[in-house]
Structure 1
Amino acid sequence: MTVDLEFHLKVTLVLVAAVLTLTSAFASIKRFLACRRFVRTHGCQPVSKSLNKDPFLGLDAIPWTIRAVLQHRILERTCERFRVYGNTFTVKELQRRAILTVEPENIKTILSVKFHDYGIKNRLKPFQPLLGKGIFDTDGDHWASSRALIRPSFTRDQVADLTTLEALIQDLFKLLPRDGKTIVDLQDLFFRYTIDSATEFLFGQSVGTLKKNHSDVEFAHAFHYAQRAVIIRGMLGPLKMFYPDRKADECNRICRDFAQQFVEEAFRAVAIQKQGQNNPKAELKQKKHIFSNELASRTTDKIRVQDELMNVLLAGRDTTASLLSNLFFSLTKNPAIWDKLRREVASLDGRAPTYDELRSLRYARCCMNESLRLHPVVPRNEREAVRDTVLPLGGGKDGLSPIFVPKGTLVGYNLYAMHRRTDFYGPDAEEFRPERWEDGNLQPHWEYLPFNGGPRICIGQQYALTEVGYVLVRMAQEFGVLESCDAGPWEESLTLTLCSRNGTKVCLTPA
């Protein structure tokens, strides 16, 4: 009896295994045939160039990536890859297959034309411990509601209020040596300036790093470390379980606890306002726009408000500071450009500019545009195909045919490399030359994307440009000479944003 039972059990297991194998094989065949029909229908051709010689796991690409990262030249080396392999090629690393492109039409398709064919769900796991679920790591309805929640805080009236920027620039000026000999790292100060600005805008209360020793500000230090941990989690993927980082966990807690106190205060302020209570302190705060209060007035979900605050803080601090640092690094290497900028700014007669005056300074805008071209603060990005789809270019030997993008494929677009294409920007595309933007000579579309494009275009674009422009103009009014104290060229420091690895070290001489 026992023998018969064992026999029947084995037969059953064999049959189950056979059924599962056949089912899997049938699904694979069905999928293969569906993909083949899709490819034929859309006239797709395979991408002719691949970075890999190993077609299975792509192990040969990993050492190259590690070396480039350790040498702080991953962006430079990637530009070389595009010159060798063309504007679109494929790469495989372990189980991850990706298509890399610098074709504007492909990027337009990803970000706009076929926006709903792509998503960013691959960001959520590495970003969530710090940012929660917000505008930068969600898709679909959640992302759409995040954008709707945030957009009202970036109206023209909010962007045009320069009062806080002037107060902070005075804090910055107090820390700048004026003997023309003492070296100062502007990059460090710009990161402190922008976190002070961002926290003032978001919470109505600055962390005040420009008024304190930087190491004494727990939140600023924790926020910096937590962001670096996001990159590591993203690189490790499922291997993260073998690399616990207790310091990152603690920094995430510090950052979110810091934001939470302002969430509670915002909800209290909104409740008082709704009840019509006479609270002088609350009324005083209501006279100026406070981002956290605005969010609290639009939703009752405290976690949602906390998540969105963290998302906007990330953008408000790092992207703006990186742009300022890269811009001033280039300006210190080009005294003639600094002199030309100062001549334009002289039209203000030493006054702090108004918002409209700031927008009228064309050469200042050219300098910002050129910095964003040469050193885009988010130099590369990617999307994951959420369904089978097509890109218009990259297939066939000439790279001009459509290509098939299977569901689950990552498509990476590299703005750093695209912004340096000589067919778009001329043979001097590697040089910092703001004049290329003068007189409307250069009017790029999808080949220039410093703030992304399509439905996910940066909401805070004008806010960031206003802040950077204000610092640029006030510095040009205050200092006649910027002398570079870094003998070498610009080197990349790539985390969530891109800035100078060696900082922006200068000596300053007053005007």
Structure 2
Amino acid sequence: MENSLTVAIAPWLLGRRFVYAGAFVLFVIFTLSSYISRRRARRIFIAQNECRPIRCQYPSKIPILPLDFTWSSIKASREKKYLETLTWRYRNVGNTYSVHTPAKTFIMTIEPENIKTILSLRFNDFSLGERPPIMGPMLGNGIFTLDGQEWSHSRSLLRPNFCKDQVADIQTFEHHMRDLLRLIPRDGSTVDLQKLFFRFTLDSATHFLFGHSVHSLSENSEFDRTFEDAFDYALGEIAIQFRLGPLRGFRRNPKAQNAYKICRDYVGRFVEQAVALKQSPHLKDPEEVEEGAPRNFFLKMLAQATDDKAKIRDELLNVLIAGRDTTAGLLSNLFFALARSPDDWQKLREETSSLAGKPPSYEQLRSMKHVKYCLQEALRLWPPIPTNTRLAVRDTVLPRGGGLNGDEPLLVPKGCTVSYAVYAMHRRKDLWGEDAEEFRPGRWEGRRHAWDYLPFNGGPRICLGQQYALTEASYVLIRLVQEFARLQPRDALPWTEMVTISLSSANGVKVALTNDED
């Protein structure tokens, strides 16, 4: 019986083996043919675009496993010298160089033409890469974490909020400026302006976004610092994960997850109001909208555009980060420099004297050249977003970095991460002169800039809120120059980086402001 069963089953088993073997052979043939086809297509692509091998490679001790590159980045970040280390690498390795791992290739660049290609000319060849998984737990699906059609939808949703009428409505700034001035001592005592600037921009950003300010600067404020602390911690964690690169998968931080939740829940409190506002007949009622809020504040316009509560919350969080951190960082870095440049402070005093102590109008604000030069110089030395990355979604090309001299086209294979460092590019001496690391606003007299100056990114993803940020920073600068005759540093420490999503001073901005002319 058993023998007859074996005889009956044997052909069936043999047939199954042939099927499996045939399937395996077909799989191997398909895989090899696909590989050969891709290699052939890439060779044709390289020839058509006249690509050459990259000239510079990072000199890792173990070329295929650059742990020293990753470890030195982590170490530099802990010592608050990440941007200094980054700049040193470009100066000593090359303006465009590669870092190779067993899994993929990384290309690092500070060539203006390469950055123009990434952000504009070949915009559709790149995605945000690691940004969505790193920033998504905090920011959700907002303009800073989306690609493709979803990103286009977010941008079209937000764009009307940054029209000229909204940007030129500067009454909101004066509303919070009075709170800021009350907290600055006039007797020469030391004050950390950076702390005040971050609260000022939080107040103005929430006023602009929600129609209600959190009033963190107000003497009678009941503002809960839990949100502010969680917000700062969350942004710090995001920065760490970017620095860790492929090692971030090993990081577990429950405190960060809690911070993300606090921030999302805090903004979520306004979402129900946003949707209700769409149907409210009393939008101008003082109980609904705080005095001094923009007529078409962000919340109102978002609610009119969509009923999607998650979308409203995510976009509010995305814009809140930009509205608070980038402007506060700009002001902090600017005043750090101005405290050590009395000649520029005096020039600002002379320029603003025509206002006779009155707050500037939007037109007057825009006409002040040295105000503009000081802001541009601070943005050059300390761009709000000092580094950025993109992921190649198909084989593409950068115009510089290949060949013996590094001035020929370079292949960027699909899956390659490209990192560009605006901070380091803004310090290139061949672009900005031997004094590239010095604060010298006068360099902007008669100077035109293009892709060598990118404080607010460029191309289709150029910052929607850049004019709003510049208007707010200009207004604060002018009002403080009007109020105080002298600005003096009160610490001898050098500028030290604090890199989260944006860039500020790790040691704060400790100064004294007085009306003593002597």
After TM superposition, the score normalised by the length of structure 2 is 0.92
SS of 2:263's partner is helix
- Confirm or deny: 8 A CA contact 2:172 2:294 kept in the other structure: no
- Confirm or deny: 8 A CA contact 2:283 2:289 kept in the other structure: no
- Confirm or deny: 8 A CA contact 1:419 1:447 kept in the other structure: yes
Q: Find 2:41's aligned residue among 34, 41, 46.
A: 34
Q: Which residue of 1 aligns with 2:410?
A: 403
> In the TM superposition, what is the alpha-carbon distance from 1:301 to its structure 2 partner?
1.5
Q: Which residue of 2 aligns with 1:211?
A: 218
Q: Find 2:431's aligned residue among 416, 424, 440.
A: 424
Where does the alignment leave 5 or more consecutive residues of structure 2 unmatched? 1-5
Where does the alignment leave 5 or more consecutive residues of structure 1 unmatched? none
Matched, 1:174 2:179: no
> In the TM superposition, what is the alpha-carbon distance from 1:277 to its structure 2 partner?
10
- Cα separation, partners in 2 of 1:414 and 1:340, compared to 1, 3 Å: same
Matched, 1:183 2:190: yes
- Cα separation, partners in 2 of 1:93 and 1:481, compared to 1, 3 Å: farther
- Cα separation, partners in 2 of 1:287 and 1:86, compared to 1, 3 Å: closer
Q: Find 1:447's aligned residue among 452, 459, 462.
A: 452
C-alpha separation in 2, matches of 1:71 and 1:495: 14
Matches within 5 A, 1:70-85: 70-85=78-93
Q: Which residue of 2 aligns with 1:262?
A: 270
Q: Which residue of 1 aligns with 2:495?
A: 490
Q: What code does the residue aligned with 2:505 have? A: S
Q: Which residue of 2 aligns with 1:475?
A: 480
Q: Find 2:146's aligned residue among 138, 156, 159.
A: 138
How many residues were matched structurally? 506
Instruction: After superposition, give the CA deviation of every residue in 1:404-440 in whole Å (9 maximum; x if it has no partner).
Output: 11111111111111111122211111100000112x1
Which of 1 and 2 has greater Rg? 2
C-alpha separation in 1, matches of 2:285 and 2:166: 24
Q: Which residue of 2 aligns with 1:415?
A: 422
- Confirm or deny: 8 A CA contact 1:73 1:492 kept in the other structure: yes
SS of 1:451's partner is coil
- Confirm or deny: 8 A CA contact 2:208 2:298 kept in the other structure: yes
C-alpha separation in 1, matches of 2:298 and 2:283: 21
> In the TM superposition, what is the alpha-carbon distance from 1:113 to its structure 2 partner?
1.0
Matches within 5 A, 1:63-212: 63-92=71-100, 95-180=103-188, 182-211=189-218
Matched, 1:437 2:444: yes
- Confirm or deny: 8 A CA contact 2:277 2:283 kept in the other structure: no
Instruction: Give RMSD over aligned pairs.
Output: 2.4
Matched, 1:318 2:325: yes
With 238-247 and 252-261 compared, the bigger mean Cα shift is at 238-247
- Confirm or deny: 8 A CA contact 1:100 1:413 kept in the other structure: yes
Instruction: After superposition, give the CA deviation of every residue in 1:186-241 in whole Å (9 maximum; x if it has no partner).
Output: 11111111111111110111111112689942222221112122223444567555
SS of 2:150's partner is helix
Q: Which residue of 1 aligns with 2:336?
A: 329
Q: What code does the residue aligned with 1:481 have? A: R
SS of 2:359's partner is coil
Matches within 5 A, 1:284-363: 288-363=295-370
Matches within 5 A, 1:55-66: 55-66=63-74
SS of 1:403's partner is strand
- Confirm or deny: 8 A CA contact 1:373 1:450 kept in the other structure: yes
- Confirm or deny: 8 A CA contact 1:59 1:93 kept in the other structure: no
- Confirm or deny: 8 A CA contact 1:59 1:94 kept in the other structure: no
C-alpha separation in 2, matches of 1:375 and 1:333: 16
Q: What code does the residue aligned with 2:441 have? A: P
- Confirm or deny: 8 A CA contact 2:483 2:515 kept in the other structure: yes
SS of 2:88's partner is helix
Q: Name the % identity.
A: 47
Instruction: After superposition, give the CA deviation of every residue in 1:94-146 in whole Å (9 maximum; x if it has no partner).
Output: 63421111111111111111111111142111111111111111111111111
C-alpha separation in 2, matches of 1:170 and 1:92: 54
- Cα separation, partners in 2 of 1:422 and 1:334, compared to 1, 3 Å: same
- Cα separation, partners in 2 of 1:482 and 1:282, compared to 1, 3 Å: closer
Q: What code does the residue aligned with 2:37 have? A: K
> In the TM superposition, what is the alpha-carbon distance from 1:161 to its structure 2 partner?
1.2
- Confirm or deny: 8 A CA contact 1:387 1:408 kept in the other structure: yes
- Confirm or deny: 8 A CA contact 2:70 2:245 kept in the other structure: no
With 80-89 and 494-503 compared, the bigger mean Cα shift is at 80-89
SS of 2:504's partner is strand
